[in-house]
Structure 1
Amino acid sequence: MNIGIGLPISDPAALPDWARRADAGPFASLALLDRLVYDNPEPLVALAVLAGATSRVRVQTEVLLAPLRETALLAKQAATLDRMTGGRLVLGLGVGGRDDDHQVAGVDLRTRGRRLDEQMALMRRIWSGEPYGDGAGPIGPAPARPGGPEVLFGGFKPPALERVARSGDGFLSAAAPSWAGGLFDTVRTFWKEYGRDGEPRIVAQVNAALGSQDVIDDARAGMHAYYAFTGMSDQMVAGMLTTPAEIRDAITAFTDLGADEVVFYCYGRDPDQVDRLADAL
């Protein structure tokens, strides 16, 4: 089981410290959330900085809202980061659900799923080195990983789960173990129906805060603000793990479900949480 750290978004300047600590510890990846109309760092830019501050850990978007971005430029940015990190980029993608993000980006919220499917087809062509088309040639650079960086899709509904098998490499799950198993099984079923070889990579996301009550309160406040638009932030905050025993139990539960990685999201700003998570493991 690989363990990753989801980075806090409220203090971008502190993230290189988090990254260096994680790179020196037992962690496999560093992940960042994405929003447009919010006070958070842009994930591809931020992860490029963090990749330069590290040498080993993967840098992962969870999830990048691809429909908000121009496709050819996104493909070029992802290929560049993948190439310059020696294949350490994991591109977690999703559609998002906020009206204001789509309004500012000039994208129709109602067609975001279809747009993501179209984007994936084009990005796969670009990453393979084929000409863009309509008189335009290939768009480089070639990514380090043949065919492009590893692509994981997040979501809960059947179209999102089917997308994993149709055009992705794996699944990002933000569900608790009590109902994540059903999502994992659905993804694996689609994977077989599409005749894919091997198994989809499955990454579970868990919200956590380890430290004093001030650290936990800071994390809860940050998470509550981020998810206020859902109307379910109270329930989500209530599920945050706050003890080493809960951390270990979550790892065991997701291991039993066949997940490949668990990423613990830390909304609290105290970077000592990296060391506390390492100790909890």
Structure 2
Amino acid sequence: MNVGLGLPIADPPLLLDWARRADAGPFTALGLLDRLAYHNPEPMVTLAALAGATTRIRVQTEVLIAPLRRPALLAKQAATLDRISGGRLVLGIGVGPREDDYLAAGVDFRGRGRRLDEQMALMRRLWAGEPFGADVGPIGPAPARPGGPEVLFGGFKPAALERVARWGDGFLAAVPPSRLGPLVDLVRRTWEEHARAGSPRIVAQANAALGPREVVEDARAAMGAYYAWTGQAEEMVAGMLTTPGEIRDAIARFEELGADEVMLYCYGRDPAQVDRFAEVV
């Protein structure tokens, strides 16, 4: 089972330390969430810096709110980061549930699903080296991975899950093990209906913090603030994994359900958690 780390967002300069520690450890990916109307660092810029500070670990958006961005520019940014990092970019994307992000970007919230489908059609063409249109030629550079970086989709509605088969390489499942099984079954069934070869990559997610009480409380406070808008922040924070046994058990359960990778999402700022997680996994 591959294990990656979702990075905390409260103190961006610390992320270089997180990245270097993770690159020297057993981890396979570094994930970074995306919001516009929040104090998180912009993920494409930040992951470019982290890719330069590392040598082997993948850098992953989880998830990038693609409809907020112009598709040609996003395609160019993704191809550039994929090329510079030696093919280490994983573009996890989705539509996002927050209307304030769309208001800040000046983009229609109601049409975000349709906009994402249109974006993917164009970006796949651009990554393949095709012209932008009748009056505009190709937009490079060519990504390191033929056809573009690996694309994973997040979301839970049928339309979101179908995008995995239509446009993507895998599924980002930000749910506990108790909810994962039916979603994986639906993703795989849709994959087969679209006559896709192989199988979709399944990436699970669990919120975790390891360390002294102040580290765990820092993580809980940050996570609670981030999810306050949902009205379910207390319930979500209560599910945070805070002991080695809880983390090992969750990884084992995700593996039994068919996940290929688990991202341990960290809201606490202490970079020493990387070494603690390494001992667990």
2:255 corresponds to: 255
Q: CA deviation at 1:179?
A: 1.1
In structure 1, distance between residues paired with 2:70 and 2:122: 11
The answer to whether the aligner puts 1:137 opposite 2:141 as a matched pair is no
1:127 corresponds to: 127
Partner SS, residue 83 of structure 1: helix
1:52 corresponds to: 52
Partner SS, residue 25 of structure 1: coil
Report the residue type matching 1:127 in the other structure.
W
The answer to whether the aligner puts 1:157 opposite 2:153 as a matched pair is no
Report the residue type matching 2:42 in the other structure.
E
Further displaced range: 56-65 or 98-107 = 98-107
The within-5 A match list for 1:231-270 is 231-270=231-270
Q: CA deviation at 1:222?
A: 0.4
The answer to whether the aligner puts 1:218 opposite 2:218 as a matched pair is yes
Report the residue type matching 1:194 in the other structure.
H
> Once superposed, what is the RMSD of the aligned Cα atoms?
0.6
The answer to whether the aligner puts 1:115 opposite 2:132 as a matched pair is no
Partner SS, residue 144 of structure 1: coil
The within-5 A match list for 1:66-81 is 66-81=66-81
Question: Could you list the runs of 4 or more consecutive aligned residues of structure 1 that deviate by over 2 angstroms after TM superposition?
Answer: none
In structure 1, distance between residues paired with 2:82 and 2:280: 31
Q: CA deviation at 1:134?
A: 3.3
In structure 1, stretches of 5+ residues that fail to align are: none
Partner SS, residue 206 of structure 2: strand
1:230 corresponds to: 230
CA contact (8 A) 1:204 1:261 kept: yes
In structure 2, distance between residues paired with 1:182 and 1:84: 37
Report the residue type matching 1:117 in the other structure.
D
The within-5 A match list for 1:23-34 is 23-34=23-34
In structure 1, distance between residues paired with 2:72 and 2:46: 20
In structure 2, distance between residues paired with 1:236 and 1:89: 29
1:192 corresponds to: 192
Q: TM-score, normalised by structure 2?
A: 0.99
CA contact (8 A) 1:155 1:172 kept: yes
Report the residue type matching 2:92 in the other structure.
G
Partner SS, residue 64 of structure 1: strand
1:105 corresponds to: 105
Q: Report the identity percentage.
A: 73
Report the residue type matching 2:225 in the other structure.
A
Q: CA deviation at 1:118?
A: 0.4
Q: CA deviation at 1:229?
A: 1.3
In structure 1, distance between residues paired with 2:112 and 2:214: 39
2:275 corresponds to: 275
The answer to whether the aligner puts 1:174 opposite 2:174 as a matched pair is yes
1:36 corresponds to: 36
In structure 1, distance between residues paired with 2:128 and 2:176: 36
In structure 1, distance between residues paired with 2:48 and 2:205: 22
In structure 1, distance between residues paired with 2:232 and 2:164: 26
1:68-96 deviations in Å (ceiling 9; x for gaps): 00110000000000001110000000101
CA contact (8 A) 1:97 1:109 kept: no
Partner SS, residue 110 of structure 2: helix
In structure 2, distance between residues paired with 1:197 and 1:255: 22
Report the residue type matching 2:191 in the other structure.
W
1:151-208 deviations in Å (ceiling 9; x for gaps): 0000011111111011100000011001111101110000000000000000001100
Q: How many pairs align?
A: 281
2:93 corresponds to: 93
1:83 corresponds to: 83
Partner SS, residue 9 of structure 2: coil
In structure 1, distance between residues paired with 2:99 and 2:119: 20
Q: CA deviation at 1:233?
A: 1.1
Q: CA deviation at 1:231?
A: 1.4
Report the residue type matching 1:221 in the other structure.
A
Partner SS, residue 131 of structure 1: coil
Q: CA deviation at 1:254?
A: 0.7
Q: TM-score, normalised by structure 1?
A: 0.99
1:16 corresponds to: 16
